[in-house]
């Protein structure tokens, strides 16, 4: 997906994807609600307005083959779809993290120059 697309929406999408992948790597397989709760805690609830907005990211990542959903039951006996990172997802996360850091660093530098 090295499309070089830097439009605002693509950037935001990519960002959310990256965060989801990272959460799944640290926490192991999660269902959408757990994922939303985890993101809300980590980001002071500033990241997602409502939990439904997670679904496009999940669909996208699963269609790319980076995560895989499996139906299972929660500790309270409820059924839920748990998403786990796949091998190609792990690789993608490494790659995308690097890219993100590069980009963030570059933007930071540019902003710093502009502030001077």
Q: Would you tell me which residues interact with another protein (CB under 8 A)?
A: 1-3, 31-34, 36, 49-53, 55-57, 59-60, 62-66, 69, 74, 76, 78-81, 88, 92
CB of 69 to another protein, least distance (A): 8
3-state secondary structure of 85: strand
Contact 92, 66 (CB under 8 A): yes
Nearer to another protein, 8 or 76 (CB): 76
CB of 52 to another protein, least distance (A): 3
Nearer to another protein, 72 or 105 (CB): 72
Give which of 112, 102, 64, 56 is closest to 85, Cα–Cα: 64
Angle, in degrees to the nearest 10, between helices 32-42 and 54-64: 120
Nearer to another protein, 59 or 107 (CB): 59
CB of 43 to another protein, least distance (A): 15
CB of 56 to another protein, least distance (A): 4
User: What Cα–Cα distance (Å) separates residue 35 from each residue in 29, 38, 70, 84, 88?
Assistant: 9, 5, 15, 11, 20
């Amino acid at each position: 997906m090295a499309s070089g697309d830097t439009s605002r929406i693509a950037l935001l999408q990519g960002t959310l994807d990256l965060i989801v992948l990272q959460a799944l790597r640290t926490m192991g397989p999660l269902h959408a609600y757990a994922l939303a709760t985890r993101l809300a805690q980590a980001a002071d609830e500033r990241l997602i307005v409502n939990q439904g907005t997670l679904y496009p990211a999940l669909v996208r990542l699963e269609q790319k083959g980076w995560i895989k959903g499996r139906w299972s039951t929660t500790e309270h006996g409820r059924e839920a779809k748990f998403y786990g990172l796949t091998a190609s997802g792990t690789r993608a996360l490494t790659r995308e993290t690097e890219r993100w850091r590069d980009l963030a660093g570059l933007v930071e530098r540019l902003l710093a120059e502009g502030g001077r």
